[in-house]
A and B are shown apart, each in its own frame.
Chain A
Amino acid sequence: MSKIDSEDHGKKHPGKKGFSRRSFLQGIGISGGAVASLPKGLLAEPQAESGARVMGPGPVPVSLRINGKVHNLNIEPRVTLLDALRNHLDLTGAKKVCDRSVCGTCTVIVAGHPVYACGLLAIEAQGKDIQTIEGLLSTHGKAHPVPTAFVENDAQQCGFCTPGFVMAVKAFLDKHPNPTMEQVKQGLGGNLCRCGTYIGVRQAALDAAREMRGGKRA
């Protein structure tokens, strides 16, 4: 728990550069027992820009572009992107586990960045390209290299963390097409698994990277 997370990990948190709650806590080496209360300022979500329009509290029209398709919803402004996907669009690949931007099981890709969908309001995701696991398309009749590598390396047991992990790996490899094992360990530190599939996930990330590069070493 001693490592300071890489830049990629930090970017997971929408609106903040370089820090997620988890990376902050890891960075200062806090263990479970050490802290009972937290400095508020560091944990508070980013405030709306000044002069922001007030919406709600009742349902408001929200338009989301997900996997290339526009979905129009009428939901309360407090609904997170994760709840919008899961409860209103039946896109249940992203899972809800901590609901507090810690575990990564809800990871989706927004405007090219991996994001914890539980930490972003649906209204904030409007106008951006949202990619979910459901949109991770197969090509040439073959499944996408990342899920395939997960299967080959048995990088899933119960599988509840798996879609989030797959999206995190996908986003990570888009930025680091030829990562080292050390970079994989750092770059994927924002996703937790209870069944303990990390050994498979590490290898899956390396294998998928090779496959996505066309089987060549860069």
Chain B
Amino acid sequence: MPSKYDWPAAEKRSLIGKRINRLDGLAKSTGRAKYSYDTNRPGGLTAKLLTSPYAHARVTKIDTGEAERLAGVRAIRVMSPVGTEVQWQGYEIAAVAADTEEIARDAVRKIQVEYEVLPHLVKEEDLSKAGNRTKPSGENTQGNPDQGFSQADVIHEGFYGANVITHCCLEPHGQVAEWDGDNCTVYASTQAVGSIGRELGKVLAADPATANVKPSNVRVITQYMGGGFGSKFSPDRWGIVCAQLARQAGKPVKLMLDRDQELLMAGARPSHFAKVKVGAKKDGTLVAWESESWTTGGMSGAGAAPIPYVIEIPNRKTRNIAVSTNTGPARAWRAPNHPQAAVLTMCPLTDLAAKLNMDPLELFLKNVSLSPRGDVYRAELLKAAELMDWKAKYHAPGKGGNGYLKRGVGLSIHTWGGRGHDSECRLIINPDGSVQAQLGSQDLGTGTRTVIGIVAAETLGLPLSGVQVQIGDSNYPPSGGSGGSTTVGGVSASTRRASVKALDKLLEAVAPGMGTTADKLVAVDGRIQVQGDPSKSLTWKAACAKLGTKAISETGRQPARDEGNLGDSGVGGAQMAEVEVDTETGIVTMRKMVAVQDCGLIIDLKTAESQCYGACIMGIGSALYEEKIYDQQTGRMLNADMEFYKLGGIGDVGEIVVHMMTRDYDQRGVIGLGEPPVISPPAAISNAVFNALGVRIPTIPITPDKVLAALEKGGMA
């Protein structure tokens, strides 16, 4: 049923779907944007954490006396009292707030802690060394795998994996906390303005020192935040202690994690390793799959990745084992479990294609009908092949050139949900013509602010500058946390509905004076006019002036039954990578990536494309450079810094081509985009390296040492 809330038809859109600059671009690029880390409150203190150097230990003694006596120290909290069993390096032991950062660091060094060191496990790639730290975590059988394999003409078996990586948000986790009586304001670097305050309030209410605090007493403000990628959804132990220190000291306190702490404990993406067996008919039709996988996300292990990924091979059996390790705990990492699933699926399928003497593109085209979106994948694969010039570049594995530099191409496909989360928008039209859209949402850098502005402006017939977008404050109407690519669907729908309702009110107010009825009026080009008769019109300002002294304030909600179907869930996506491998040094160089992506109706094409470019670059990092490297002997992370926890630089990412599927796809309404394009790069790149060399580097990241080792094993060094 068509509804007045529906998105305007393509030919009527003046802003939606165009390439539009982000609203806060200049604030960011001129350094005016204030992040939590930049929030200097009057009289504010700086807090630093003392963390455990051991992967597994019991605290046997803790003495803060000397630290307390240091001039300039204002408050100390012990977070792990005697008897606490710490389970990973970086675990919080105590926190100090002091007049300056330097004094806080000195004080942390003066806290004396003794530990009883306990045995640890920090590595899981070799399951045979995991001892009693494993437990089954998911088993599933579909069809008849034994029968499936008996029908296969070709069977491939192999080992594949993805190591643990970390989020490495450039703005570390942390916040500033400031009290006024029993009310606490928290300037937090968070993905969930709406929920972390309540969660923090609950914890504070349970503390005798802050027993009067109610969850609603905590206000969270996040105007700008420097990256989250799934790791910033909780108030966290450091957020709680920050509020407690501020209370104790009677002054605002800033506590931001140091870089090593950030990398040790503030987020990890679980590893995923698997022994895979997959079978196909001579013509490439996939018939059977069997896998035994294992994974760790720290102490709690981790769940199974969705394998076989995207392509639902009819006869399949999967078994997963969770390994508990003494490493910083896992947090959702952009598209949780999907990038690993892509590696564990698209790599063996490519190896199987090699055994069949088939171009993997043909194998995928043949089998995407086993996915829920076969036609979409077919179209996307063909588009990607065209943009990559796949036909010209593809060669049999290992035939990547005669010299020491070998070139190759590889591909992968992916999927994601991305349905909009719950959201409320308050849309205010003032008699002076100004407009505010208020939501308790947050902009992680995806362009949320801009998307809200575009939807409101489009609906009200205004230029983008005619709408003030007010977000990043828990005092605004609640909107969901920004995770799982749910934000754009949520805020665009609630904003659309609020804007339609507010406009209706305005039209009702001005219709009598214009000698007509509200249903005959439209808002277009900054005017309210009689439909089909531009001569009868009012400027937006003049129309709003008719409101007298009373502003219009309307609320729109997502979901809202009977108020239009504005979004959907489920996207595809295909990517191809071209690499050059130096067989003497083992270094893999990116030449080109192609990302073809659908996501329903695109609100801002420019920021949507940026999501894809950024996702490819992040994916290149995890394919080639990133790994949390632990040493089993000492239990320590060897690269808790940015020298050796490597991110790719501007010269490392090659050429990137992004193609958004638009025409016809917009019928589905808005679907989230943040996660899907980050899924395929590691698998596509690994496959490109395989194509170049003819040997498989089984795990990502594909570092030079692994390339050289694989070449040696393959007799090619």
List the interface of chain A (C-beta within 8 A of B). Answer: 1-3, 21-22, 25-26, 29-36, 76, 78-79, 83, 86-87, 90, 92-100, 102-103, 105, 132-134, 136, 143-144, 146-148, 150-152, 154-163, 166, 184-186, 188-202
Contacts and interface: CB of A to CB of B under 8 A. Distances in A.
B258 A99 contact: yes
Interface stretch (B121-129, B409-417, B649-657): B649-657
A64 B696 CA distance: 56
Q: By CB atoms of chain A within 10 A, which of B46, B229, B614 has the most?
A: B614
Interface stretch (B134-142, B166-174, B302-310, B325-333): B166-174
B644 A32 contact: yes
A35 to B, nearest CB: 7
List the 9 shortest-distance A-B pairs measured between CB atoms, nearest first. A93-B31, A196-B617, A160-B226, A159-B28, A158-B445, A196-B614, A157-B445, A92-B38, A133-B31
Interface string B619-643: 0000011110101000000110111
A89 to B, nearest CB: 10
A137 to B, nearest CB: 10
A95 B30 contact: no
B29 A158 contact: no
B29 A79 contact: no
A34 B705 contact: yes
B703 A160 contact: no
Nearest to B226: A160
A34 B704 contact: yes
Interface string B222-259: 00111101000000000000000000000000000011
Contact of B170 (A21, A144, A158, A199): A158
B649 A192 contact: yes
11 contacts: A1-B646, A87-B100, A93-B31, A95-B171, A102-B643, A136-B30, A160-B227, A163-B28, A188-B651, A192-B647, A196-B615
B149 interface: no
A26 B227 CA distance: 25
B642 A200 contact: no
A199 B35 CA distance: 24
B661 interface: no
Contacts of A157: 444-447, 610, 614
Nearest to B643: A102
Interface of B: 21-22, 24-35, 37-38, 40, 46, 100-102, 168-172, 224-227, 229, 258-259, 444-447, 582, 585, 587, 589, 606-607, 609-610, 613-618, 624-627, 629, 631, 638-639, 641-653, 656, 701, 703-705
Contact of B704 (A31, A103, A105, A161): A31
Q: By CB atoms of chain B within 10 A, which of A3, A31, A83, A103 has the most?
A: A31
B647 A2 contact: no
A194 B621 CA distance: 9
Contacts of B614: 157, 195-197
A134 B31 CA distance: 7
B226 A35 contact: no
A150 B585 contact: no
Contact of A195 (B445, B585, B606): B445
A134 B172 CA distance: 22
B610 A197 contact: yes
Contact of B33 (A1, A159, A194): A159
Contacts of B704: 29, 31, 34
Contact of A1 (B26, B35, B652): B652
B585 A160 contact: no
Contacts of B21: 151-152, 154
B585 A29 contact: yes
Given A93-B31, A166-B31, 18 more contacts: A1-B648, A21-B643, A29-B587, A86-B40, A87-B40, A92-B35, A95-B171, A99-B259, A133-B31, A148-B26, A157-B447, A158-B225, A159-B445, A186-B651, A194-B647, A195-B618, A198-B613, A202-B650
Q: By CB atoms of chain B within 10 A, which of A1, A21, A79, A136 has the most?
A: A1
B618 A192 contact: no
A190 B100 CA distance: 29
A29 to B, nearest CB: 6
Nearest to A96: B37
Nearest to A160: B226
A162 B28 contact: yes
Given A157-B614, A200-B613, A1 B650 contact: no
Contacts of B227: 158, 160, 194-195
A25 B25 CA distance: 33
A2 B585 contact: yes
B650 A198 contact: yes
Contacts of B31: 92-94, 132-134, 136, 162-163, 166
